[in-house]
């Protein structure tokens, strides 16, 4: 038996629902084609008090077609998205609960807010129609751990289960903590990922007041560009099945990539702004590389956090340079948020899926909308067009309000 310390963890299943598509194939094809998910705001009424011009929403989604009428009514939109992505990941992986393994399969999800749409809808019902009109499923639709609990019920997984809420690092932290549990021998396989549906008047207003949202009409968000002016909210979910190499081989699963490292740090600097020079992010990158036994020379591609805000993009660039040294200028660095928007607690998981696909297809997705890099953004951001490349190691960066930093390292098997 392999010791817990040396347990290898591999990815065997992927699932996606994004502003680009309702599954992995359509989402990835659109990402490689540089297709933006930016479109009109239809989730709430825009007034002249808002500056935002559009969002990156999931389009033409009918939850009843995926879940049936009964289940769709009992799940918040973020839980519906999670269920769609989970089904894809489980189907690809072929992982099934049995009496012999169900207690060794866990569920770790990430989300920043949880059932926001239900919270807003049920609050309006109370105020306009009275307390007796609230849904009896309202609480389970609101609670952040609802998606993980429902996934465990849907598939009969009885191992460790948790929901991580480290803001925009949550999806990556969920994958990282699931990785940790397998490495420690507390589980043999984990269903993990993140989901978020943050597009609402209150969140947009809050981000605008914080000076974080772009107010451009098109060609936005524009990570690393000199004229970047903020993020664009997006929505979606990304899910992965990860398991020990031995477990995957024993059941004949197809191995997509290996998860080899995870770095997690806290800035302890400011509730929204990154630490000066990206110091906390740099430590997380180094931790992920050290655990994986990798050097900067081994890194081929970085899926950046790349939000399109002035502070994040500068700090992330500084962190990459501080950690990788001269290799920072060799490595391709791109922000898929330039197309998906910022999917908050789901984004690290969605971008983990993109990272695995980059290894699978040996291609770097582009950063669109990048016309001229900012003076403090001087790396190779793979502008405009996807780029075929030899990719053996990918880093996935995710940073969140509260000073949370999470970095995952994936490798070709």
Q: Which of 22, 56, 78, 168 is catalytic?
A: 168
- Looking at residue 63, its pLDDT comes to 97
- Asked if the model's pLDDT at residue 104 lies above 70, the reply is yes
Report residue 180's pLDDT band, with 50, 70 and 90 as the boundaries. Answer: very high
Q: Is 124 exposed, middle or buried (0-12, 13-18, 19+ CB in 10 A)?
A: exposed
> 5 pLDDT exceeds 80?
no
Q: How many CA atoms lie within 13 A of 26 on its CB side?
A: 13
Whether 56 is catalytic is no
Per-residue pLDDT at 21: 98
Share of the chain above pLDDT 90, in %: 99
Give CA–CA dist 286/296, Å, rounded: 9
Clarify whether 66 is annotated catalytic. no
Which of 52, 67, 71, 54 is CA-nearest to residue 17? 67
Strand order across the beta sheet in which 332-334 lies:
161-164, 105-110, 189-196, 236-244, 9-17, 257-266, 404-411, 393-400, 301-303, 332-334
pLDDT digits (tens, 9 = 90+) for 112-144: 999 999 999 999 999 999 999 999 999 999 999
Residue 3's pLDDT band (cuts 50, 70, 90): low
- Closest alpha carbon to 204 in 22, 404, 341: 341
**What is each CA distance from 196 to 98, 170, 234, 268, in whole angstroms?**
30, 10, 8, 25
The CA distances from residue 264 to 33, 43, 174, 299, in Å, are 32, 34, 11, 18
333's tokens: 């660095």
What pLDDT does residue 108 have? 98
Percent of residues, the chain, with pLDDT higher than 70: 99
Q: How far is the C-alpha of 93 from the C-alpha of 212, rounded, in Å?
A: 38
Q: What pLDDT is stored for residue 376 in this prediction?
A: 97
Phi, psi for 250 (deg, rounded to 5): -65, -30
Mean pLDDT of 242-248: 98
Catalytic residue among 22, 342, 377, 404: 342
- How would you class 208 by CB atoms within 10 Å of its CB: exposed for 0-12, middle for 13-18, buried for 19 or more? middle
pLDDT at 2: 47
78 in Cβ contact with 116 (< 8 Å): yes
**Structure confidence by residue, pLDDT tens digits, 259-280:** 999 999 999 999 999 999 999 9
Distance separating alpha carbons of residues 64 and 59, to the nearest angstrom: 15
Write out pLDDT tens, residues 155-177. 999 999 999 999 999 999 999 99
- Determine the pLDDT at residue 4: 61
In this predicted structure, what is the pLDDT of residue 268? 97
332 and 363 in contact (C-beta within 8 Å)?
A: no
Which of 4-8, 71-75, 235-239, 353-357 is least confident? 4-8
In order of 65, 174, 286, 296, 299, the CA distances from 289 in angstroms are 42, 18, 5, 8, 9
Predicted pLDDT at 6: 80
Active site residue 377: no
In 3-state terms, what secondary structure has residue 396? strand
The CA-atom distances, in angstroms, between 86 and each of 58, 101, 190, 239, 240 are 16, 19, 12, 6, 8
Mean pLDDT of the chain: 97
């Amino acid at each position: 038996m392999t010791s817990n310390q040396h347990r290898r963890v591999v990815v065997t299943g992927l699932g996606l629902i994004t502003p680009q598509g309702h599954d992995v194939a359509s989402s990835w094809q659109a990402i490689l084609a540089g297709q933006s998910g930016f479109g009109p705001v239809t989730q709430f009424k825009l007034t002249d008090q808002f500056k935002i011009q559009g969002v990156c929403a999931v389009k033409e989604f009918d939850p009843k077609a995926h879940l049936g009428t009964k289940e769709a009514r009992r799940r918040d939109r973020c839980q519906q998205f999670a269920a769609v992505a989970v089904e894809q990941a489980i189907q690809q992986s072929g992982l099934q609960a049995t009496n012999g393994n169900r207690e060794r399969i866990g569920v770790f999800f990430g989300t920043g807010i949880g059932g926001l749409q239900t919270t807003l809808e049920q609050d309006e019902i109370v105020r306009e129609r009275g307390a007796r009109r609230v849904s009896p499923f309202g609480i389970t639709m609101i609670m952040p751990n609802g998606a993980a609990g429902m996934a465990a019920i849907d598939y009969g997984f009885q191992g460790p289960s948790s929901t991580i809420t480290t803001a925009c690092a949550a999806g990556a932290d969920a994958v990282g903590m699931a990785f940790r549990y397998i490495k420690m021998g507390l589980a043999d396989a984990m269903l993990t990922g993140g989901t978020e549906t943050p597009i609402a008047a209150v969140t947009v207003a809050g981000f605008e007041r914080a000076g974080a949202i772009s107010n451009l009409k098109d060609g936005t968000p524009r990570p690393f560009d000199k004229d970047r002016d903020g993020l664009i909210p997006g929505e979606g979910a990304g899910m992965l099945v990860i398991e020990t190499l031995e477990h995957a081989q024993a059941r004949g699963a197809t191995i997509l990539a290996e998860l080899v490292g995870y770095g997690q740090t806290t800035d302890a600097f400011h509730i929204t702004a990154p630490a000066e020079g990206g110091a906390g992010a740099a430590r997380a990158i180094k931790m992920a590389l050290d655990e994986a036994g990798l050097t900067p020379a081994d890194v081929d591609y970085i899926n950046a956090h790349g939000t399109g805000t002035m502070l994040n993009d500068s700090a992330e660039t500084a962190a990459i340079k501080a950690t990788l040294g001269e290799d920072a200028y060799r490595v391709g660095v791109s922000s898929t948020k330039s197309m998906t928007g910022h999917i908050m607690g789901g984004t690290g998981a969605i971008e983990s899926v993109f990272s695995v696909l980059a290894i699978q297809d040996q291609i770097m997705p582009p950063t669109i909308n990048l016309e001229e890099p900012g003076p403090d953004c001087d790396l190779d951001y793979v502008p405009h067009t996807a780029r075929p490349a030899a990719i053996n190691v990918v880093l996935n960066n995710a940073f969140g309000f509260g000073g949370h930093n999470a970095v995952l390292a994936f490798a070709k098997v």
